[in-house]
Chain A
């Protein structure tokens, strides 16, 4: 996983994880000594409902290859319904990305509970693979 070939493009993922489920799930992956690609940089937010579309745009503009938003499963939100607000915002942001000519697949919303460490690892692995296929964030070459 970690011994990538020299020179092969290594995507950079910015992940916004909610404190109660997804961030906790990523912690458990550590506790269980699971291994995953070193592509993800995690930003803790209290709730996925805190994630503003502008955060996602900022990350992509700064050169992130992918953005992951992780929240509690629908119905399990620590703040009752913040994740539902997040769903709506992500859908809109994906539309916006399309209009901007950015592959909306570069933005992923996932529900990861605090016990789903395996799911977190799988998502990072899959997203990393997908981003490798998509190639570098096109905004990087504009600079």
Chain B
């Protein structure tokens, strides 16, 4: 049974890569948007660009994983293709995990390009195992968040609108551009309940940008966020087929 589920998760993810992710809209949203955003900051202040690299990597993680999830889940729900997957001898959880894994694989590809590009061009020293671990855990957390928000609604446009809210809130509050420590106390507390804060912190520490954080805490918090997003998402999807 678990073998069937693992096989299903893998093939659904690969199919989604082929049909949705490796297409111009997803690629451009996943990689071009963070690049354009950071370019704007670079042109404003080129001297401090190295400090912006963790934020650039974190933003790529966030936008690439959630780039096509509304299409991958809501569009398929609407067309009935998701029902076709549910008719296969795999569990509903495996179908949703396949969808989440598709976002993770695509996000990893996009983030790898941005990370390798910036780290090598700027000659940054990275703790590679921690950096990869933080990126992978973040990819799972954001892909699960995307899946949860998508199954909350019916239509593709509703899902895209709903996804934009946490994405843009996190850009401003999680240390991508402005350090969390510089935020007003009330906002700072809010930043600590957002997963991107831990991605930025984990990437900063892996690249040696800051020394004060706790990367082990980042790892556990990102795992916790993933679980907190995945389980309700599975419940909500099951409710649609109750």
Q: Do A and B come from one complex?
A: no
Chain B interfacial positions (CB closer than 8 Å to A): none
